Amino acid sequence: VFQGRILARRLVGQETRYEVEVKTPYRHRFPLVSREYVWVPNTCGCPPLREGGEYLLMARQHVNYERTLNRILLRDDGYARPWTPREGRLVREAARHC
């Protein structure tokens, strides 16, 4: 779970790749750097992430079977909400209990 700002969007094959500036990592099981690519396995614009917008994102690390591909994937069961100070407060409170 992290707060990020969408810098760019690009369609790659049947997927969408977002370049994201990681602002605040709240809870992560894999290391995040200041800029990451977040992949969405569709091209329909779901979830609707707009360039320049800040979001609270819950994504997963995806490593393929051969271990040749390691990326951050925002699946259908993931979480993407516009970031607000309230969202940040709720995530910080939840992190204390998890």
**CATH no. for residue 11?**
2.40.50.120
Interatomic CA distance for residues 66 and 55, integer angstroms: 32
* Domains: count for the chain: 1
Residue 49: C-alpha distances to residues 21, 70, 90, 95, 98 (Å): 13, 22, 21, 24, 27
Residue type, 24: T
pLDDT, tens only, 22-56: 998 877 777 888 999 999 999 888 888 999 999 99
Angle 74-41-62 from CA coordinates, rounded to 5°: 55
Alpha-carbon span 68 to 66, nearest angstrom: 5
Token digits of residue 75: 């699946």
Model confidence over 51-93: pLDDT tens digits? 999 999 988 888 777 766 788 899 888 889 898 888 878 877 8
The domain in which residue 65 lies consists of: 2-96
The amino acid present at 41, given as its one-letter code, is P
Q: Provide the pLDDT for residue 98.
A: 61
